[in-house]
Amino acid sequence: MTHTRLSDYLQQQQVDDALQQVVHAVSRASNDINHALSKGALAGVLGAAGAENVQGEDQKKLDVIANDLLKATLSAEPAVRGVASEEEPDVVPCHQDGRYLVTFDPLDGSSNIDINSMVGTIFSVLAHTGSEDAVEADFLQAGRQQVAAGYVLYGPSVILVLSTGKGVAMFTLDPDSGDYLLTDDEVSIPADTGEFAINMSNQRFWAEPMQRYIAELLAGKDGPRGKNFNMRWVAAMVADVHRILCRGGLFSYPWDNRKPEQAGKLRLMYEANPMGFLVEQAGGKVWTPEGPILDIQPQQIHQRVPVILGAANEVQRCVDYHQAG
């Protein structure tokens, strides 16, 4: 069976040349990241880097390696005006005639590295419309403005998931040729589900509507929902969202009362927005308790947001509980 190569797919979708170059740059960097990940302990790349990122989180060595690989590859690409990364405090201006801005989480779920479990790279592409040298204000565009978004999941297979605004396509890395080959272009999230993903250990810190929503799922057949729900939590958003794109489900990382001033754990511009773009393109919903995530006007590149995404009817019900409360 022959599979369409990523490069042919992008041409068929009539993606402009500059955007094609951006996607190819991400795909090249992901090959290099995958190589570093698969060498693991043999290359001495596991463990802590001994520093914190701008979010105050401990960096893993592979967070730093993945960030350096993506930053170097993207900033060498003339189509890229600037980049912003979870691991960089400030935006990085690149080429003055580049058309696109790229934000990324170089290695999402990096606490999974040391247990050889799934991690991923998340990216979002925005058109550049502002100043000559890209500055933070140029990046502060609502998620709905994204021209492309996607992720690479480093798992048993390496999978690139991409949307340029015309649905969602999945490509599997062929380790023999290094090419990403199209393996699914009909990605769709059913509106109903019997599966949810949330870090249950935080339950007692959530707002009352979220506690109620999850308590009703846990009550299963005997509760108000009248059916049993299954739970999964990979602790890497990229892997949990991948499962939802493959077989449906609901994912949430809600606000919790230990840090009331912090909106949530996940970051809007390089986690929630790109994943949200994919989920909406696959027919799902992506909300905070107040409204659609993709409509939020960002105030800064590292801002956080509570996230409820996936099966449209379940997201709606969860949001309804919040709005009624």
Query: Which 224-253 positions form the footprint of Mn ion (CB under 5 A)?
Result: none
Minimum separation from the CB atom of position 220 to ligand F6P (A): 23
**Are 47 and 60 a contacting pair, CB within 8 Å?**
yes
Q: Tell me whether residue 197 or residue 312 sits nearer to Mn ion (CB atom).
A: 197
**Residue 279 partner contact from Mn ion, ligand F6P, none using kind-dependent CB cut-offs of 5 to 8 Å:** none
Is residue 265 a contact point for ligand F6P (CB under 6 A)? yes
Is residue 108 a contact point for ligand F6P (CB under 6 A)? yes
Query: Which amino acid does the sequence have at 138?
Result: D
Minimum separation from the CB atom of position 150 to Mn ion (A): 14
**Best CA proximity match to 181, nearest among 169, 191, 173:** 173
**Best CA proximity match to 26, nearest among 173, 128, 235, 145:** 173
Rounded to 5°, the CA angle 309-60-310 comes to 5
**Are 56 and 74 a contacting pair, CB within 8 Å?**
no
Is residue 276 a contact point for ligand F6P (CB under 6 A)? no
DSSP one-letter string for 157-226: SEEEEEESSS--EEEEE-TTT--EEEEES-----S--SEEE--GGGGGGB-HHHHHHHHHHHHGGGSTT-
Q: Tell me whether residue 20 or residue 112 sits nearer to ligand F6P (CB atom).
A: 112
Stretch of 219-227, 234-242, 282-290, 291-299 lying at the interface with ligand F6P (CB under 6 A): 234-242
Strand 250-253 vs strand 307-310: parallel, antiparallel, or unpaired? antiparallel
Is residue 109 a contact point for ligand F6P (CB under 6 A)? yes
Q: Tell me whether residue 12 or residue 199 sits nearer to ligand F6P (CB atom).
A: 199
Minimum separation from the CB atom of position 26 to Mn ion (A): 16
Q: How many residues bind ligand F6P (CB under 6 A)?
A: 9
86 labelled binding-site residue: yes
Minimum separation from the CB atom of position 108 to ligand F6P (A): 5
Query: Which 186-205 positions form the footprint of ligand F6P (CB under 6 A)?
Result: 199
**Are 94 and 81 a contacting pair, CB within 8 Å?**
yes
Stretch of 17-25, 31-39, 134-142, 233-241 lying at the interface with ligand F6P (CB under 6 A): 233-241
111 labelled binding-site residue: yes
**Are 150 and 162 a contacting pair, CB within 8 Å?**
yes
CB atoms within 10 A of CB 255: 22
Q: How far is Cα 244 from Cα 197, in angstroms, rounded to an integer?
A: 9
Q: Which residues on neighbouring strands pair with residue 58, listed in sequence order? A: 52
110 labelled binding-site residue: yes
Binding residues for substrate: 108-111, 199, 265
Binding residues: 86, 105, 107-111, 199, 265, 271
> Which positions touch ligand F6P (CB under 6 A)?
108-109, 199, 235-237, 253, 265-266
> Which positions touch Mn ion (CB under 5 A)?
105, 108
